[in-house]
Amino acid sequence: MDILDKLEQIFFKYVRRFLDMARGKNGKEFDDLLVEQGRDEEEKRVIREMCEETDLEHEMMTELMNSDAEPGDWFEMKIVDIIKDKYPNVTAEEIEEVKEIIRDCLENGIRDLAEIVAKCAEAIQSAEAEKDDNQEGEEDQHHE
């Protein structure tokens, strides 16, 4: 048995043990189980924060799914609610300004992602073309 097989056995043994421990636990109990796996207080703190963030994400996703709003509209409403909560004296113009800034950021983010995807596609095509050229060169050498 090589080292990779041994590591695989250890990993799956640990996962099986963890799943057995997690069986039947509700969300809070599962979070507590995850936190207990931390090796020290700092790691436990980080795991707890990650659990809280995940819980919040699930809560927000549930709220979005239960609303009749489109995701962008729902997101905009959440932003307005947060702004009004934090700054009760905010004006409609200020809210509109913040929404415009966020729209610009999202639009730029989407544009940036599209450019990254395009560059990756170009790199893949270039690598495939180079690979094809190398294979053709090798075939030519074999025929000589």
- Distances 38 to 20, 33, 59, 141 between C-alpha atoms, Å: 18, 9, 25, 58
Q: Is residue 123 part of a domain?
A: no
Q: Is residue 133 part of a domain?
A: no
pLDDT band for position 117 (50/70/90)?
confident
Q: What range does the domain containing 28 cover?
A: 1-66
User: Based on the structure, what is the number of domains in the chain?
Assistant: 1
Q: What is the spatial distance between Cα 58 and Cα 51, in angstroms, rounded to a whole number?
A: 10
Percentage, residues of the chain above pLDDT 90: 26
Higher pLDDT, 16 or 87: 87
Q: Which residues contact 62 (CB under 8 A, 6 or more apart)?
A: none
Q: What is the spatial distance between Cα 30 and Cα 28, in angstroms, rounded to a whole number?
A: 5
Across the chain, what does the average pLDDT equal? 86
- What does the pLDDT read at residue 141? 65
Q: Is residue 44 part of a domain?
A: yes
Q: Is residue 29 part of a domain?
A: yes
Rounded to an integer, the average pLDDT of 40-64 is: 92
Q: Is residue 99 part of a domain?
A: no
Q: Is residue 83 part of a domain?
A: no
- What does the pLDDT read at residue 142? 60
pTM of the model: 0.49
